[in-house]
Structure 1
């Protein structure tokens, strides 16, 4: 089928082309008598920038018979950096034989219009609703790269933008960052919570943050404006009510999963991930689970899924209907997801099967390392025995850690021959230890790139572990909550990390783990292999992300990538029942639905009451499972 019939925006008649070109000239004040492109660089600079951002090359061909002229503009794709024309991915304008385009001023009009027409910029809205810098980094990287490529981007964000970016504007969710930080739990309390409680905590947080985003005055002002968007980029993180943006703007939906694909993402695109083989995001297991761990994982998966289906998704639907009254059911919008970009890779996590519209782009946030500040560069250059970098991430403030933890860590670090970069909030340089540099913040990516850094002590956040693999630095993990246990479990299984769960921290345990990570060469050797796997890709992960986002735009949502499993709805059951000549189909459907819900309810009650005779035992043995994983 002719692509011009697939996209009405491109199906312009010759009269339309002439009218738009003439209007463009009259608005810019260019004379009909003479136009010299090379002598008007200032006037054309913006146009040229946009053209370079979206169309890498263009050619014009014509025959001597004057039968037909074709102008073909190459679509901007990361796999085509040299602007080579590919007939399968071109934008096409046909000029008919009776056209007067061919010489003089008419040709100038034609070429100027072509510059406008060949640039296929989209209007994109991004929503970054989680007030954590790691989550912000992922969405911000995607959106600013889209702006760099010529798209017009608006970002709703919990962080204030400091530096203006071309084609990019932000809507600040004022006050949300402070609200979240004020509600952060004490670290000791966080590590003592059972996974069942953590499940409920995250779902409740998702509900609260979703509503805070939707009701924010700046967001309401945007929704009431005349703004239009072609694409909405969301984080895939307990925020189904935010799918209302996609409905409101009649826009394609692309989501970014900040963690490994799990039960918070897979159902949206009907991706299969059986709990017998794929660990839940909240368990401290890799995919190499024994029987007891598989049983425990299945219980956690069933508990979380049932809780979501029976309570939290209906609550998200209430938010959706409250702020977008004409929107369809939340499930319909969930299943209309065009693409999920997964922040994962086989070098970091284990291999998984994906439906076609789930794409791994782990590490896309990592940029080329920059030069370190002079004092930091000198400190690391002088580390002849190597250096250790300690950071527990940006989300949890170290003020939330036990008061004596800092001194316990420093007492161990002061006795090793390696130099130590010690990130601790609200601290200044402690000159008592000559081998330790204490600061509030370090440029982590640039630090890990230094060849003298031999070990990274981390909480196990996915961005941190990914950056360690990118630079080939072994890990000592102190996981606390969220997916950190899973990330460190994967690293331990792959052989490039030592783990010390935070609830098992003592000075002796930490000293032993530190010596093991520093002096056993297997961790460095295994990390070297993982580093090679990470970089062995046909394209950079950010380019891969851009390719697939623009693919969704190019093919009007790319419905052909969606599995037919998404179409297996109750309406199909109604049709089959009708064929069997059953009476009162609606009542029968309701009865079946209620029966299944009651079954889910019984499963939930069994998990809560007894855990099928094993759940409570698994909870009590959770610490022992850590010991089995991390000898």
Structure 2
């Protein structure tokens, strides 16, 4: 009898637990020129590997380790070179889009022209899912069509409206700001006009010029006559993972297969290297962390801006930990420590860190939000301006213009963040919101990816908007029909009124006026 009960309980438990997904063949395609983007992608792919899946990663950066479940195909990084980011500043919207377009062309040529990549395309291998970054190299979508596998797109930033279009997700221009504009969710009339034009015009150019140009590159290297246009393939994206979270200040509507996983790269703080731990532990008045990220090098900081920064730092009671990519820092004060590479997320978790001087990159902003550290934002390009603008509006950051880095402006910004309590209070308040989730974003990304694999692309998640033409989606045909109906009704009413006016008896026809005259 006892055995019957035991087996019955086992049967119930087996039915209650979802069937474990068998090991899947995962293809990861990441052509990113920046290491931070690859760091996010590798974190995600490694999580799938730990679940027992076999991962083939095509990347421009060597991974931290390799084993039986990890196969790596290294390709050249087309964006690596000896250049100064501050000499390449792009501040206008059109220039930003051109920068992305040029980068996409370069990356597609480099990626598709690689012999190992071409061999992979013609290998006849079977993959259960293809994971890729959707922008700015949509040419990678050709591999998903070739292998007949579902596509999981991982956007390493908040994404654009045309990336959201891949899964039919709405982007209301009235309150969702363009990621390349320095706007917020509260826009006046002129800002809404600017935001609308910044969404519509690039989308048109993308369809008429950008994607056809990438189609030509794909045909040049892959020579596949059965390959549809990229504009058609991108509509087959099964899942779009966005590295964003509403805590950053821009809540927006989401279709079921567009999932926010902002902060998936953030882990439990690890022990710091001994020298950094000692430096921060000894900061009795607190410490300031200074890093311009991986793509923007602090060592490229112009001489006058560097000198101004050092004069301010030398007067601080706080210690300054500066990510500096050169071997030495001329004029380095005793309270400043430099390092070519620093464990940023773990440093921000130290209780003595009181402020973070940053370029405003999304990954850095997320790490500061998770750790509750206020910001001095110095945005350089791309989405950094929006990230800092939203952080400033939320009350845990002050913004400095990269062209106005002076001794006075740096002194003001640091004094504001270090001495006004509300900046740290707001940062810690948002940290609690950012961390209050039912599951870790990395686990959520893995769950939905496996969901897509289990359900053969999960077509039931796709929005019906993908089947509509642009004029149907915008209801222009309905508006036109209603307008036509209104005009017809107005014409009929006008015709009836005119006819009634013609048949109405005129007073003269009954001689009323003549009779009145005779009586006179």
Q: How would you bin the TM-score normalised by the shorter chain?
A: 0.7 to 0.9
Alignment counterpart, residue 254 of structure 2, candidates 338, 341, 354 = 354
In structure 2, the CA distance between the partners of 1:409 and 1:86, relative to structure 1 (3 Å rule), is farther
Higher RCO, 1 vs 2 (CA within 8 Å, ≥6 residues apart): 2
Aligned to 2:464: 564
C-alpha deviations, 1:252-282, integer Å up to 9, x for none? 1001111113224111011111222111111
Distance 1:153 1:71 in 2: 33
Distance 1:204 1:157 in 2: 20
* TM-score normalised to structure 1 length: 0.71
Distance 1:507 1:325 in 2: 60
Are 2:138 and 1:209 equivalent residues in the alignment? no
Distance 1:498 1:572 in 2: 43
Asked if 1 retains the 8 angstrom alpha-carbon contact of 2:112 and 2:218, the reply is no
C-alpha deviations, 1:57-101, integer Å up to 9, x for none? xxxx999xxxxx9998x9xxxxxxxxx6454833xxxxxxxxxxx
Alignment counterpart, residue 378 of structure 1, candidates 257, 274, 278 = 278
Distance 1:276 1:337 in 2: 26
Distance 1:463 1:545 in 2: 16
Distance 1:374 1:319 in 2: 50
In structure 2, the CA distance between the partners of 1:119 and 1:89, relative to structure 1 (3 Å rule), is closer
Distance 1:276 1:345 in 2: 19
Q: Give the length in aligned residue pairs.
A: 470
Distance 1:234 1:221 in 2: 18
C-alpha deviations, 1:402-421, integer Å up to 9, x for none? 23322221111111100000
Are 2:347 and 1:447 equivalent residues in the alignment? yes
Are 2:446 and 1:546 equivalent residues in the alignment? yes
Q: What is the aligned-residue RMSD (CA, Å)?
A: 2.6
Alignment counterpart, residue 160 of structure 1, candidates 62, 66, 85 = 62
Alignment counterpart, residue 527 of structure 1, candidates 416, 427, 452 = 427
Asked if 1 retains the 8 angstrom alpha-carbon contact of 2:291 and 2:298, the reply is no
The DSSP-based 3-state class of the residue aligned with 2:80 is helix
Alignment of 1:120-199 (within 5 A): 120-173=22-75, 175-176=76-77, 179-182=78-81, 184=83, 186-191=85-90, 193-199=91-97
In structure 2, the CA distance between the partners of 1:305 and 1:570, relative to structure 1 (3 Å rule), is closer
Distance 1:209 1:62 in 2: 63
The DSSP-based 3-state class of the residue aligned with 1:340 is strand
Distance 2:202 2:417 in 1: 35
| Deviation (angstroms), 1:519 | 0.8
Are 2:134 and 1:236 equivalent residues in the alignment? yes
Aligned to 1:283: 181
The DSSP-based 3-state class of the residue aligned with 1:335 is helix
Are 2:289 and 1:389 equivalent residues in the alignment? yes
Q: Which has the larger radius of gyration?
A: 2
* TM-score normalised to structure 2 length: 0.85
In structure 2, the CA distance between the partners of 1:307 and 1:418, relative to structure 1 (3 Å rule), is same
Asked if 2 retains the 8 angstrom alpha-carbon contact of 1:236 and 1:258, the reply is no
Q: Which is worse superposed, 488-497 or 225-234?
A: 225-234
| Deviation (angstroms), 1:425 | 1.1
| Deviation (angstroms), 1:363 | 0.3
Aligned to 2:237: 337
Aligned to 1:320: 218
Asked if 1 retains the 8 angstrom alpha-carbon contact of 2:298 and 2:323, the reply is no
Distance 1:71 1:88 in 2: 11
The DSSP-based 3-state class of the residue aligned with 2:354 is strand
Aligned to 1:506: 406
Are 2:390 and 1:490 equivalent residues in the alignment? yes
In structure 2, the CA distance between the partners of 1:269 and 1:196, relative to structure 1 (3 Å rule), is same
Distance 2:216 2:120 in 1: 21
Distance 1:263 1:150 in 2: 34
The DSSP-based 3-state class of the residue aligned with 2:104 is helix
